[in-house]
Amino acid sequence: MDKRWKVNLTILCFGQFLVMGGMTMVLPFLALYVQELGITDIREAGIWTGIIFGINFLTSFLFQPIWGRLADRIGRKIMLLRSAFGMAIIICLMGLATSVWHLLILRLLNGMVAGFNPAAISLTSAATPREHIGFAMGSLQAAGVAGLIFGPLFGGYMAGVFDSFRPIFFITGGLLALASLLMVLFIRESFDRQTAEKEPQQSIFENLRGLLGNRGMGSLFTATFVLQFALFSSLPLLALFVQDITGDPANVALYAGLVGAVTGVANLIASPILGRLGDKIGHKRILLASLLGAVIMLIPQAFVHHFWLFLLLRFLFGICMGGLIPSLNALIRTVTPKGMESRAYGFNSSFLSLGNFLGPIVGGFCAGVIGIEGVFLLSAAILLIHLLWLARAIQKGLFANVQPNVQTIER
């Protein structure tokens, strides 16, 4: 049993890496692919690119709770395979698109079949010993972040290798299919389907209402949304900000890519370390400390005028971000009723997708009113308000049932 959870975690991390990489590998050339599909006007291509990119998160937000509900009734492994094989097929089909409408529909379907992340989290949560849950969640987070880093790099590199963008979709889909086969062969799940099917049937809204009735669950869902909203509100604007502070439009793509890479690498390094630390001292402390650190690192970004200083601040910001999602996932496990883990993580993933969808929209609007610098300050203010609310709620015993590792001595 002790080795089994490690095998599961290793395969799931590999799958998480490929899934997140597959979702983001289109970023460097999506606008160019849109132009290849017949939208030659730059302004129109920009609009189509934004819609095609965002529609994936919108449908993911809508469908994640449905897949989470099914996972609690028929098993998490089958939901992993549904999502991974489904994405493999859809991404391959993107390489066969002949119009932007085809690509839009396929991205919409890709968001619909998504659900790998909550299924992987819930399976890991159920199979991992309690004393290792923070490390496991941090490892999954690190694998996902590695995929977010590698995906655009792979896509950008492959775009330079091939004369067309289409082979990139086929290669990515093939890698996802390989990961799916590995999960078929090596993932083991202890799941009593007969017992699960005997549980009373509830609608999605009844499930959400039941989960929100548990102490702290609503605040954890809100924290996930706020975190992603604050992060993604400035993310699409980084290239413009980097261009402004460097004054070098010719190399802005390289500089912007470097900013994204160092943030991701910092997150990759910090996630398992802070997750393991949370197992020892309590995930509430890591969550609050990481939120405070993110606020402190965001504020000076609005006033920096040197690229290398901005790069350092983004690296430190990435370290703070590395402690947030693993802590939230670990805390969700502790307040979720037995048998509802997949539904809880499915709803949490929906709130994450909603933040990913709304953040860039609101951030882009605010940038036109208060400037990109103002968006950094707005993100910091949102995180600070939520930090103060969470600290107050915890002080009142919101997570009274959340305990650190049993080996930890309370301080």
Which class for 167: exposed (0-12), middle (13-18), buried (19 or more C-beta within 10 A)?
middle
Contacts (Cβ under 8 Å, ≥6 apart) of 366: 233, 374, 375, 378
Tens digits of residue pLDDT in 175-234: 888 888 888 888 877 765 666 555 555 555 666 666 666 667 777 888 888 888 887 777
d(CA 214, CA 363): 32
Tens digits of residue pLDDT in 10-54: 888 888 888 888 777 776 667 678 888 888 776 677 677 767 877
- Stretch 343-366: mean pLDDT: 78
d(CA 324, CA 340): 22
8 A C-beta contact, residue 179 and residue 18: yes
Is there a shared CATH topology between the 1-184 domain and the 214-398 domain?
yes
The CATH superfamily holding the domain 214-398 is MFS general substrate transporter like domains (1.20.1250.20)
Give the length of the chain: 411
Helices (H), 236-340: 238-246, 252-281, 283-298, 307-321, 324-335
- Looking at per-residue confidence, does 313 or 275 come out higher? 313
Residue 303's SS3 state is: coil
Q: Measuring CA to CA, which residue among 375, 293, 395, 322 is closest to residue 134?
A: 322
Contacts (Cβ under 8 Å, ≥6 apart) of 97: 37, 103, 106
The CATH superfamily holding the domain 1-184 is MFS general substrate transporter like domains (1.20.1250.20)
8 A C-beta contact, residue 298 and residue 332: no
Rg (CA), the chain: 21
pTM, whole model, 2 decimals? Answer: 0.67
Domain ranges of the chain: 1-184, 214-398
d(CA 234, CA 229): 9
pLDDT category of residue 313 using cuts at 50, 70 and 90: very high
